[in-house]
Amino acid sequence: MIDDTAGPEAACPIAPVVDIVFSRWTTPILWTLHERGRQRFVELERRIATISPKVLTQRLRQLERDGLVLRTYHPEVPPRVEYEISELGRSLAPVFASLGEWSAAHLGEVERARRVHDEQRATSGTGRVGP
């Protein structure tokens, strides 16, 4: 019997991980730190050009709280702060590698399926999904 009152974790035990790691900006931040190594805030901001400074700050704070990113403060004039992926964050590398392989092998199929779906909806005239 299925417990309808259980949270999403019961239905999908990886849901909390997906929420932590695969949010819109978390993945590019972790990917950049993994691929490029230690980065200053400005370097990350430049490499992830479409992220706002406010959102980058929020995501970096959350990733530091989650133990996926390390923040190092250098008390210089002017102060320097660097971010790097932690060992815990690095442990996600095989997951990212697998997703990269899946993407290379199947993203074209997804795009084709979307085109077919959109064309079918456009020609049916209803634009509706379902009965």
Residue type, 22: F
Instruction: Summarize pLDDT for 70-83 with one digit per residue, the tens.
Output: 999 999 998 899 99
Topology (CATH level 3) of domain 8-86: Arc Repressor Mutant, subunit A (1.10.10)
- Listed in sequence order, the DSSP H helices in the chain are 8-11, 15-21, 26-36, 41-47, 53-65, 87-90, 93-124
Q: Map out the domains of the chain as residue ranges.
A: 8-86, 92-131
- pLDDT for 62 equals 95
Is the pLDDT confidence value at 33 over 80?
yes
What percentage of residues in the chain have a pLDDT greater than 70? 88
Instruction: Give the residue, 74 or 22, on which the prediction is more confident.
Output: 74
- pLDDT for 23 equals 84
- pLDDT for 123 equals 87
- pLDDT for 3 equals 55
Is the pLDDT confidence value at 54 over 60?
yes
pLDDT band at 127 (very low <50, low <70, confident <90, very high): low
Q: How far apart are CA 41 and CA 23, in angstroms?
A: 19
Beta carbons within 8 Å of 28's beta carbon, 6+ residues apart: 48, 51
